[in-house]
Structure 1
Amino acid sequence: MRSALADPAPVRLLLAGVVLAVAALSGCQDDEPYVAPTPTASTDAIAPAAATRTLDDLERALRRRDADAAAELGADDAAQDLLRSVAETAAALDLVDVTFTYLTENGQVAADGSWTAAIATTWRIDGFDERSARADIEFAFADGGTRVGAIGGGVGRTPVWISGPAAVRRTDDVVVLVADGVVPMRPLVTVSEQALVVAQRVLGRSAEQLVIEVPASSDALHAALGQPPGTYDAVVAVTATADGANVPGAPVHVFINPDVYRAQGPLSAQVVLSHEAVHAVTATPTTSGVENWLLEGFADYVALRDVDLPVSRTAGQIIGQVRRDGVPEALPSRLDLDTRAQHLGAAYEASWLVCVTLAEHGGEDALVAFYEAVVDGAGLEAELRRHFGWTIGDLTRAWQDTLSSVSSVGG
């Protein structure tokens, strides 16, 4: 057997390293102590396989309604509390079809060895959603992928149910999800149930259901919807699909902006929720090509139908605009009804008066049939002629007469 000492090469390599180290130290001044460089994290620390096993464990914990098992996957106290709340909320919502699929890393590994990744997540509220929602959610992994450090943020969505502690109430007709006491639960459940009744009364439907979600803040609302900050800052509520997939059958929920909703009185809150219930029941977020004045005007027509308020209240902004600038030349446009439009309130009121004009001309049954046909994909102008015997020009002139009439009262 050959002796290890017979080959001097390893010794030469080691000595060369020592010489280089001594040469480097000899150039240092006595008052500048040597400091070892901070090690930089390597992408070698990313462990998708370990993270996938952790996600599988989280899936099992949620399926079994095991909040303790979910919490054990957290990297620290905060993460454990988050995962416990996720499991508790999922159980209270009766979520099914919950899956987590590792997609790809988001950037490099941090100095502490943690990294973030996009996780394709699916979920469905059993008994309420026809199909599962799907969204890419950012997860932070720690301890070589064996622990979850955080959920949400980044460029993906952060659904309310996975964002932190929340309260849930389920009835036969309504599910209400409220982030950690941000608004009182009981009054909201009552308003939501009444909103469904209001929508059903006009639409003639009796088997519809409603899902209401209240994120922790306006910022959390935008994160849940995957929208840029500021999009819905001035909006009380918005109806949208749970995952942004505006296709038939996608789960449609009502999302409330708590920062604005808290300032509403009982009557205003009821009108807003009734308006959104119409959107949810008729699944308008999954439609395309329908004029916004019809979608928003009809929802307001239903919400205000049995509200005992003078037109000076229900159309005060558009009345003021007409008195100042005259009657508009055209029906409200998509830009007029953009959530950040300067005169959004007036545009909503003007759209409501379009539908009031139609109902006064042809009756409420004709208005409902017209709305449902167009939402289902029929041509607006053809249905307008069919149900009212009008062209768009006829409707515009009749609506302008309505605006002139209501604006002259008390003027």
Structure 2
Amino acid sequence: MVSMLLALGGGAAAAYVLRGHDNAPSAVSWVDVRPEVGGKAIDAVLARHAEAVKRKDLGGWMADVDQRDSGFVQRQRQQFENLTKMPFAELSFERTAQSAPKMAAFLPSQLFDQYHAAVKVVAVTVRHRIDGVDSKPVATPWLAVFGYSQGRWVIAGDGVGKDLPTGEAGQPWDAAGAITVVRNDRVVAVLSADAGGDAGRTLLQLAETGLQQVAAVRPNGWDGKVLLTAVTDRKIFDTYFAESQDRVAQVAAIAVPYYSGVAEWSARPAYATTRVVFNPSELSAPKAELQHDLTHEFTHAAMGPVTGPYTPRWVVEGFAEYVAYKDGKFNAAGIRQALGDIKIDKFPTDKEFYDEPRNYVSGWLACRMIAETYGQAKLVAFYEAFQRLSEVESVAREVLGVGRDQLEQQWRDYVAKQRG
């Protein structure tokens, strides 16, 4: 196949030689790639896509989808059906300016060949608000591949690669199979359609209990409502571990913060909410384990508005464990077994925290010690202070009246006492 690019007016237009068969070109189609021209056409496609979801118009959705790849067509049909089941209060697909070379890295090679280079990856912000859950619009990413076919731009595929923006291909409507949505006043849970009614009811009951446990510690400062994804499609969960696949089996669920803009595409996006995504392998776990996991992740959602780059991992995870285990009773033998031979010396650094699963236990005991010694309100204030201060030393002195060294000594003494 022959492909020719002619630059006119500083690259404002491109000419592609398109073949009707293998022997000779049948037509030359001029594709104007100026943003104000091609961009408007793509904006119109995205607007029609959003309108199709709102109207539950499958024909309108599929009208802008290239029909040549049967597999992609089927995936688009399923995505449309899943989108129409989501309780959106708002939904839009917005083209987001990104550099062409950056986006080209996500272009599947077969689509480049199929469209004779008349194809590009477009950064799309899926801006939405879940009815009854979100107080602010949430931005999630979609890398849409647009190809020029028969005189118009059509959706031809999805971007691929290792460095996809957080949440790309990880939304509940991206599930390969059909979904179902169950809800109560404070939780919207998305499950696979074949999960069964009992699974949905059980999950909602556990989620409601988890939210009550979180509200007992953190009653204000967040929406108090959560979108929970618990589908069996592995890729929805695995998407969030693209660069750390070794950790997937160790994580029961993940709390994902989202912002007013896609974090990787925005300079200073404002925090909007936290979504919770379950590891499919954990959905059959005992109820007590599921209850703990839900409460832990909901705590992350509750603290999302006050969690920043300076909040230590031992505080983030230790606080979530404190809430999840707050009403539990533990004996010295159980704590000794959970800690094993881990050395309690200095608070673990962020870099090393996740390398040792028992750091969750030591972080829990640190937060429990602060709550028991200084009061639960001081523990919450200690967490919140990292919005303004970047070091444990300064936060401990301001909130607790002690320095880091003294706080670590109190922690060591407390752990030794709990071990018996």
TM-score by length of structure 1 reads: 0.74
Q: Distance in 2 between matches of 1:354 and 1:56?
A: 51
Q: Distance in 1 between matches of 2:231 and 2:243?
A: 15
CA contact (8 A) 1:291 1:334 kept: yes
Change (3 A) 1:241 1:59: same
Which residue does the alignment assign to 1:122? 126
Equivalent position to 1:204, from 219, 225, 238: 219
Query: Greater shift after overlay, 213-222 or 277-286?
Result: 213-222
CA contact (8 A) 1:120 1:135 kept: yes
Equivalent position to 2:350, from 318, 323, 334: 334
Q: Distance in 1 between matches of 2:388 and 2:329?
A: 31
Equivalent position to 1:90, from 65, 78, 83: 83
Equivalent position to 1:169, from 171, 182, 195: 182
The answer to whether 1:132 aligns with 2:138 is yes
Shift of 1:330: 0.6
SS in 1 for 2:137: coil
Query: What do you get for the CA RMSD once the two structures are aligned?
Result: 3.6
Q: Structure 1: where are the runs of 5+ without partners?
A: 1-35
The letter for the 2-side match of 1:236 is: A
Which residue does the alignment assign to 2:95? 101
Shift of 1:351: 0.4
SS in 1 for 2:143: strand
Shift of 1:238: 1.6
Which residue does the alignment assign to 2:288? 267
Cα deviation digits, residues 217-267 of structure 1 (max 9, x gap): 4443243x48425164121112122466285423321122223x2353211
Which residue does the alignment assign to 2:13? none
Which residue does the alignment assign to 1:258? 280
CA contact (8 A) 2:92 2:128 kept: yes
SS in 1 for 2:272: coil
Residue pairs, 1:376-391, within 5 angstroms: 380-391=392-403
Cα deviation digits, residues 153-176 of structure 1 (max 9, x gap): 435321324424322223321122
Shift of 1:349: 0.3
Equivalent position to 1:276, from 297, 303, 318: 297
Equivalent position to 1:148, from 143, 155, 158: 155
Q: Distance in 1 between matches of 2:329 and 2:370?
A: 20
Change (3 A) 1:314 1:200: farther
Residue pairs, 1:10-159, within 5 angstroms: 49=38, 51-74=42-65, 75=67, 77-95=70-88, 96-101=90-95, 104=100, 106=104, 107=107, 109-113=111-115, 115=119, 117-126=121-130, 127-129=132-134, 130-139=136-145, 141=147, 143-144=149-150, 147-151=154-158, 153-154=160-161, 155-156=163-164, 157-159=168-170
The letter for the 1-side match of 2:237 is: L
The answer to whether 1:397 aligns with 2:409 is yes
The letter for the 2-side match of 1:258 is: P
Structure with higher strand content: 2
Shift of 1:356: 1.4
Cα deviation digits, residues 273-298 of structure 1 (max 9, x gap): 11111110121685121111111111
Change (3 A) 1:111 1:347: same
The letter for the 2-side match of 1:94 is: P
Q: Distance in 2 between matches of 1:102 and 1:203?
A: 36
Change (3 A) 1:85 1:280: same
Change (3 A) 1:217 1:400: farther
The letter for the 2-side match of 1:87 is: F
TM-score by length of structure 2 reads: 0.73
Shift of 1:142: 7.3
- Report sequence identity in percent: 19
Change (3 A) 1:286 1:369: closer
Larger Rg: 1
Q: Structure 2: where are the runs of 5+ without partners?
A: 1-20
Change (3 A) 1:102 1:198: closer
Q: Distance in 2 between matches of 1:347 and 1:135?
A: 32
Cα deviation digits, residues 362-402 of structure 1 (max 9, x gap): 22232233323335658643442344332211111121122
Which residue does the alignment assign to 2:324? 303
Q: Distance in 1 between matches of 2:210 and 2:308?
A: 21
Equivalent position to 2:366, from 325, 329, 354: 354
The letter for the 2-side match of 1:85 is: Q
Change (3 A) 1:280 1:172: same
CA contact (8 A) 1:71 1:81 kept: no
Q: Distance in 2 between matches of 1:110 and 1:73?
A: 19
SS in 2 for 1:321: coil
Q: Distance in 2 between matches of 1:116 and 1:200?
A: 46
Give the aligned length: 362
Equivalent position to 1:185, from 174, 178, 200: 200
Change (3 A) 1:262 1:159: closer
Shift of 1:47: 7.9
The answer to whether 1:237 aligns with 2:253 is yes
SS in 2 for 1:289: coil
SS in 2 for 1:167: strand
